[in-house]
Amino acid sequence: MVASGNRAWIPAALIVGGIYLFVGRVFALPADHARAWRLAAWVVSGLAYAAHLWHEYSKLHSSSRVAAWHVAVAVAIGAFSLAIAGMIHSLSRDASIWAKWLIALIAWPAITAIPAYLVALAAGAVFARAPR
């Protein structure tokens, strides 16, 4: 297991969180073929998630719980960033901050990070059984 003071995971979490923000904003722009763009956003986000998880296990040699935590933090960063982007976009149309955006700043990271943690934890159990 990696020492608890090791902060090598923070840049990866910030980069992947930024990728989630980028994908969420850019893939939402095209109006034509919205379903295909939404599917493409899911695929790209899934690849970023898998790459981050692989990085945690293979490069940083994190334990299952630690890797799941780091991956979930990146997902929460992306969701929080998208909530802020949505709030800013909403402010460009209306001069007030609605309560739903304040709720979104808490709910979006929680709704996305909890499943991301559980899936990464399950993947960790699979990786632990696989030969290195």
Give a yes or no: residue 2 inside a domain. Answer: no
Q: How many domains does the chain have?
A: 1
Residue 99 lies in a domain: yes
Quick check: is 3 in a domain? no
Q: What is the pLDDT of residue 84?
A: 92
Q: How far is CA 86 from CA 6, 51, 81, 83, in A?
A: 33, 26, 9, 5
Block means of pLDDT (10 residues each) for the chain, 132 residues, are 65 91 84 82 94 91 93 96 88 76 92 96 85 69
The answer to whether residues 20 and 81 touch, using CB atoms and an 8 Å cutoff, is: yes
DSSP designation for 3:
-
90 part of a folded domain: yes
Q: What pLDDT was estimated at residue 91?
A: 82
pLDDT at 1: 41
The residue segments making up the domain with residue 49 are 9-129
Q: Is residue 104 part of a domain?
A: yes
pLDDT of amino acid 86: 86
CB 21 within 8 A of CB 78: yes
Nearest residue to 19 (alpha-carbon basis) of 71, 87, 94: 71
Rg (CA), the chain: 16
In a domain, 52, yes or no: yes
| Residue keyed to tokens 């981050």 | 52
